């Protein structure tokens, strides 16, 4: 039987991770989101009757492949602190694969909602306050729930992902936590192309079930990714 946070009485090592704050987010992105709220909300409330005005977010959201987006998201300081917490989580729970998935799609992971609900709630707060304006800017949609995990690609356990859709979500967001500490990696999208490893803290954002993709092989080291599988509000 697998351990749970309740079984082991897990306590967050760095209490700052239980209290979402501005420093979680890259500074320029934080202020750009704030400056974009008015036209984003105005367009959403008009339900498509008018053209959306240009926003400051338009300048920092990139589209390297068709309907695949990148944006600076978490600060490097936040990523470093989360990685340190991950080592503590790994000591308690270890990285485990999801046995409900087929073998090709299993990746060693630590899920936050199961093992550390306090950090899960904190991370979801950043999605609601910073992620949603970005999603609204791109698709005029916002999320109201989801799942979060840290995934680990390495030569011993899992060096490469298999082709798959994120069928249980509407929007996928993948954030590298330690770019430059491993070789290889990146994400390939079927019939779309490849996105090379992004800088630490930058988010890769795409529709979950329409974009078949896979993680490319790690050549050395451990590649840690913060993965969000997000559900949109059903209207």
For residue range 92-101, list pLDDT tens digits in order: 888 876 666 6
Tens-place pLDDT, residues 73-96: 999 999 999 999 998 998 888 887
The whole-angstrom separation of Cα 223 and Cα 235 is 37
Q: Does 220 have pLDDT greater than 50?
A: yes
pLDDT band at 158 (very low <50, low <70, confident <90, very high): low
Of the candidates 130, 131, 134, 126, which has an alpha carbon nearest to the alpha carbon of residue 58?
Answer: 134
Q: Does 2 have pLDDT greater than 50?
A: no
Instruction: Please count the residues of the chain.
Output: 235
Q: Does 155 have pLDDT greater than 60?
A: no
Q: Mean pLDDT across the chain, nearest whole number?
A: 89
- Please give the pLDDT value at position 157: 62
CATH class of the domain comprising 23-232:
mainly beta
The whole-angstrom separation of Cα 43 and Cα 24 is 27
Q: Please compute the mean of the pLDDT values over residues 161-182 and round it to a whole number.
A: 90
The whole-angstrom separation of Cα 155 and Cα 212 is 23
Spans of all domains in the chain? 23-232
């Amino acid at each position: 039987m697998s351990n749970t946070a309740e079984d082991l009485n897990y306590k967050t090592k760095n209490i700052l991770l239980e209290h979402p704050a501005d420093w979680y987010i890259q500074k320029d992105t934080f202020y750009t989101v704030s400056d974009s709220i008015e036209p984003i909300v105005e367009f959403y409330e008009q339900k498509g009757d008018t053209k959306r005005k240009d926003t400051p977010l338009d300048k920092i959201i990139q589209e390297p492949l068709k309907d695949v987006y990148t944006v600076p998201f978490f600060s490097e300081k936040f990523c470093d602190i989360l990685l340190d917490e991950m080592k503590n989580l790994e000591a308690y729970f270890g990285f485990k694969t999801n046995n409900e998935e087929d073998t090709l799609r299993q990746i060693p992971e630590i899920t936050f909602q199961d093992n550390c609900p306090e950090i899960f709630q904190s991370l979801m707060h950043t999605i609601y306050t910073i992620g949603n304006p970005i999603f609204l800017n791109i698709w005029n949609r916002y999320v109201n729930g989801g799942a979060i995990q840290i995934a680990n690609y390495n030569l011993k356990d899992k060096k490469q992902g298999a082709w798959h859709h994120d069928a249980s979500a509407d929007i996928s967001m993948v954030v590298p936590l330690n770019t430059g500490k491993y070789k290889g990696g990146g994400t390939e999208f079927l019939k779309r192309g490849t996105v090379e490893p992004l800088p630490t803290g930058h988010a890769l954002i795409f529709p979950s079930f329409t974009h078949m993709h896979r993680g490319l092989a790690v050549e050395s080291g451990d590649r840690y990714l913060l993965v969000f599988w997000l559900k949109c509000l059903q209207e």
